[in-house]
Amino acid sequence: MESAKITQILEAYFEGKTTLAQEKTLRAYFVSDAIAQEHECYISLFIGFQVAKEETMVKAVTFPQQSKNRWWMGVAAAAVIVLAVSGYVYTDANTLTQEEQEAVMAFNQGKEALLLLSKNLNKGAEELGHLNEFANTTNKYFK
């Protein structure tokens, strides 16, 4: 077989771009006796692949047996979820004490006051924008 063709297939093989037929050609080449000297370094690699292909495991693999009576765990988990959700829904979590209601009212009033302050500051900032425009125009004429 052509040494250049084998070299090309080897390059493709190490890049992972060979077809199954090309890989079969390589295996047949490295099993044969007509191997070029520049390819002798790959003989042990392909022989190792052949040996690994023929290896088998003799030890028996056992998996632990699972009990088939585990249906009750699913029922128990569903019951816990139903109890937790119903307990959350039917509790008096939405009722606030008098102190908490006053704190919420104070928070809302403070929020309204800050929004009003923000509106007024934004108006002032807009006016400063016009002042900057006036300064730019006057600087253009006084230069």
pLDDT at 1: 53
Asked if residue 29 is part of any domain, the answer here is yes
What's the number of domains the chain is made of?
1
How far apart (Å, rounded) are the C-alpha atoms in residues 114 and 120? 10
pLDDT at 94: 62
How far apart (Å, rounded) are the C-alpha atoms in residues 82 and 74? 12
pLDDT at 93: 57
Asked if residue 111 is part of any domain, the answer here is no
Burial of residue 6 (CB within 10 Å: 0-12, 13-18, 19+) is buried
Structure token pair of residue 136? 């730019």
Asked if residue 15 is part of any domain, the answer here is yes
pLDDT at 92: 60
Domain interval for residue 44 = 3-54
How far apart (Å, rounded) are the C-alpha atoms in residues 99 and 7? 86
DSSP 46-74: HHHHHHHHH----SPP--PPPPS--HHHH
> What parts of the chain have a pLDDT lower than 70?
1, 67, 92-94, 130, 132, 134, 139, 141-143
pLDDT at 109: 96
3-state class (DSSP) for residue 112: helix
Asked if residue 115 is part of any domain, the answer here is no
